[in-house]
A and B are shown apart, each in its own frame.
Chain A
Amino acid sequence: MKKFVAGMLCFCMMAAVATACGGGDSNGSDTPATTVNNGGGDTGETTEDPATDPANEGKTPINLYAFTEEVPMMCQCFLDTHPDFAAQYYINKTVIPTTEQQYQPALDQALLNGGEDAPDMYVCEEAFIIKYTQGDMSSFAAPYEDLGIDVDAKIEEAQIAPYTVECGTNPDGKVVALGYQTTGGAFIYRRSIATEVFGTDDPDAIAEQIGAGTNSWDAFWDTADELAANDIAIVSSIGDMWNVVKHQPNTSAWVVDGALNIDPNRESFLDIAKDLIDNGYCNDTSAWQDAWFADMAGIGEKPVFGFFGPAWLVNYTIAPHCGGDSAPADGDFTQGNTYGDWAVCQSPVGFFWGGSWVLCNNDSDKKEAVGQIIEWITLDCTNTGLQYYWANGMISTDNYAEDGVMPEGTYTSDSVASAVVMGMSDGSSDFLGGQNMFDVFVPANEFASGEGMTQYDENINAEWQNQAGYYAHGEKDRDAAIEDFQTYVSENLGL
């Protein structure tokens, strides 16, 4: 019996492997046909070692460290669209996800130990960008001007979102990192609820209703009260509010002169969390968990009015979880399909959430070459630049290897760093009831602030959010939460 089971499993595995190989082959044979459109170059077959690939013979490798496939895909796109460059260089990528908390240790070791495997180019995200631009590892980040980029003029020309520049500037005031995407945040709300409670779903009217751009939360809490009276929650989770409060403009950093500093803005989050729970302003969910997604489809405990978030939250998170891929035929959004029921308006205070920055290693001997790629990714504001492709849904990580660059609107669009590119692009979608979200996200990117960040934020933010949760749920009182937080910070960060 046991042998039989084992035999069956063996067989299944063999079959699986066999199909894998078969699939790989057919995949491989598809590739050449499509890559021709991209101006030649070799896109597929990345399981081969690029160093031993005959197509790369005589070329110089550019080592790239990244935590997603996004930037490697963009680099590939650069090679495909710049044949002259591709004749000299190829990309040798290393992708390590941040989810296992191994990206930073690996990147740090690779940077510290140098040698020919050291990264020439690397990517950082919001949670740890400061460590690499202003913190412990900042000495490795090469100023963009050393890469042959006329960075200040370019930033002005492309109208790059100011907070991304702030985060990417080193202590000497030189720009060492910029992004392609922007993650300035807005309030993403349900039209049907707006109409029901406030009599209008117009983004401008709702913006006024929640006090958009006032830098004050008063109007927002009044709105929350009004919604709560109708048994509607204004947001889904406590964490949704933290994403906004965290990077609120005019907030001083967690660490000032080597000591912990709790800014009043951030301290107020304790009370916000408590109010959310006590007054039923939220469904008490947690981000990325079942109940949070249920609120996107409108099937949570109570209806939820909206979410705070950037453009990626609209297209990559809410849209796939809204319960449908076209608006419900009967126009009833309460039955688990909210497609088309969403709209975007300005947030009461500016904020940003997430984002990636691209850096070049100071010790790299290929700075000029890396500079060309970086410039194309972060500062090119023409319609053949990466950002135009990205903002108009012309490339996608999932399909690039097969499809290459596609016409505008093929994939979902995302907000990008250059306001000039955003101006040329169309961010409207049926999901938002035809609204062009870029109308809101361009000012949102202007409105976000990159000040008051430290390299310890990832850690400190997580603990502050935890303590606020314990306080809000009555696990401890306010003073105890603050005290425990201070203990944590002093013991974990040695401050």
Chain B
Amino acid sequence: MAEVATTKLKKPSAINKRKNPIYMTVIYIVCIILLLLCLMPFWLLLVNATRSSVEIQTHAVSLIPSKYLQNNWKVFQGKDFNVAVGFKNSLIISTCATALAVYFSSLTAYALTAYEWKLRDGFFGFIMGVMMIPGQVTSIGFYQMCYKLHLTNNHLMLILPSIAAPMMVFFMRQYLQASLSIEIVESARVDGANEFFTFNRIVLPIMKPAMATQAIFSFVGSWNNLFTPMILLTKNELKTMPVMVSLLKGDIYRTEYGAIYLGLFLTVLPLIIIYLLLSRYIVAGVALGAVKG
């Protein structure tokens, strides 16, 4: 189709050779507006983190920082939780959940791509179906199960379920289908490698870009998860960052907005860092193979 289309176009144009200044200006203006739109909330979070509650309630949005950062920090850590503990819990949960999700989704996707087995198509259809289940109501069943089995206050209940991440399996499968050539697998078999070894040493490296992007999405999701940990983790020393920040809102008559924004900013900070570190994969590598060919 592409070839047919291009042969039809016969009009040579000089504009193509040089940059059209108006065209370029439009591009930059649009991009800069979008850039401001996207970065603005981070600036607002930062500014509000330096304002007092009363200032925030009087004018919820401001672009100019105030002088209450230290005060907010005092309120924030004066509440009876420890920021370091929250960070630690969030980091443990998000890292473990992400690692498990990425590894086992890749493994499942590999099983769906590299092998011919009877139930394969059925299994794939099943994963697709699971992907589409609306999450709101199944949560009742999940909470009920956790309470019945007395598995509340256990980080594992937030980590282990991520082994079955249907969305990610779907993505990984799309990626593998295009980027994995059976030839490599076959040659490894010829060399006598067992299947597990082949997956770990040969297939996983091929999937690196896909894994990085999915890791970001998964980490962000797990880090920002609020509802499940809020219900399941009732002990202070187990709570995650977002839960701790939401606790700041708990006092209905006197809400410390400055401290909340500071907490929100601290919560998003690690995400920004991890995102920036992994962003070269996002920009260059997402779904690289999924469309190859």
Q: Which residues of A contact B (CB under 8 A)?
A: 2-3, 5-6, 9-10, 12-13, 16-17, 19-21, 23-24, 27, 44, 46-49, 67-70, 94-100, 102, 105-106, 109-110, 112-113, 115, 117, 125, 288-290, 293-294, 297, 312, 316-317, 320-321, 354, 397-398, 401
Q: Would you give 13 A-B contacts (Cβ < 8 Å), ordered by A?
A: A12-B269, A47-B80, A49-B236, A94-B234, A96-B231, A97-B250, A98-B252, A99-B252, A106-B234, A109-B147, A112-B147, A113-B148, A290-B60
Contacting residues, chain B, for A95 (C-beta < 8 A): 247, 250
Nearest CB in chain A: distance from B284 CB, A: 12
Interface status of B187 (Cβ within 8 A of chain A) = no
Given the interface pairs A20-B83, A115-B150, A354-B252, the reply to whether A293 lies near B58 with Cβ below 8 Å is yes
CA A238 to CA B231, docked complex, whole Å: 35
- Which one, B32-40, B123-131, B205-213, B270-278, is touching chain A? B270-278
Smallest CB gap from A21: residue in B = B84
Nearest CB in chain B: distance from A91 CB, A: 12
Interface status of B53 (Cβ within 8 A of chain A) = yes
The 9 A-B residue pairs whose C-beta atoms are closest, nearest first, are: A97-B250, A20-B83, A94-B234, A113-B147, A6-B276, A46-B80, A316-B253, A47-B82, A99-B249
Partner of A96 from the list B79, B80, B230 (CB cut-off 8 Å) is B230
- Chain B 205-248 residues near chain A, CB threshold 8 A: 226-227, 230-231, 234-237, 246-247
CA A16 to CA B72, docked complex, whole Å: 13
Q: Is the CB of A109 within 8 A of B144?
A: yes
CA A13 to CA B80, docked complex, whole Å: 20
CA A9 to CA B273, docked complex, whole Å: 6
Nearest CB in chain A: distance from B27 CB, A: 21
Q: Is the CB of B83 within 8 A of A321?
A: no
The interface centre, meaning the residue of B81, B83, B144, B227 with most chain A CB atoms within 10 A of its CB, is: B83
Q: Is the CB of B272 within 8 A of A100?
A: no
7 more contacts with CB within 8 A, not counting A47-B237, A97-B250, are: A49-B237, A97-B249, A99-B249, A99-B250, A106-B234, A117-B234, A290-B58
CA A12 to CA B81, docked complex, whole Å: 20
Contacting residues, chain A, for B53 (C-beta < 8 A): 320
Interface status of B85 (Cβ within 8 A of chain A) = yes
Interface of A is mostly: helix
Contacting residues, chain B, for A10 (C-beta < 8 A): 273
Contacting residues, chain B, for A5 (C-beta < 8 A): 276
Contacting residues, chain A, for B247 (C-beta < 8 A): 95-97
Partner of A17 from the list B83, B150, B152 (CB cut-off 8 Å) is B83
CA A70 to CA B254, docked complex, whole Å: 11
Interface status of B3 (Cβ within 8 A of chain A) = no
Q: Is the CB of B231 within 8 A of A13?
A: no
Q: Is the CB of A2 within 8 A of B252?
A: no
Interface status of B251 (Cβ within 8 A of chain A) = yes
Given the interface pairs A69-B251, A98-B252, A290-B60, the reply to whether A20 lies near B273 with Cβ below 8 Å is no
Q: Is the CB of B276 within 8 A of A9?
A: yes
CA A27 to CA B78, docked complex, whole Å: 8
CA A95 to CA B243, docked complex, whole Å: 10
Contacting residues, chain A, for B59 (C-beta < 8 A): 290
Interface status of B71 (Cβ within 8 A of chain A) = no
- Chain B 9-29 residues near chain A, CB threshold 8 A: none
Q: Is the CB of B143 within 8 A of A109?
A: yes
Interface status of B66 (Cβ within 8 A of chain A) = no
CA A9 to CA B276, docked complex, whole Å: 10
Smallest CB gap from A16: residue in B = B266
Q: Is the CB of B253 within 8 A of A69?
A: no
Q: Is the CB of A20 within 8 A of B82?
A: yes
Q: Is the CB of A117 within 8 A of B80?
A: no
Nearest CB in chain B: distance from A188 CB, A: 15
Smallest CB gap from B57: residue in A = A293
CA A321 to CA B253, docked complex, whole Å: 13
CA A115 to CA B57, docked complex, whole Å: 42
Nearest CB in chain B: distance from A56 CB, A: 14
Contacting residues, chain B, for A98 (C-beta < 8 A): 250, 252
Nearest CB in chain B: distance from A182 CB, A: 14
CA A21 to CA B60, docked complex, whole Å: 30
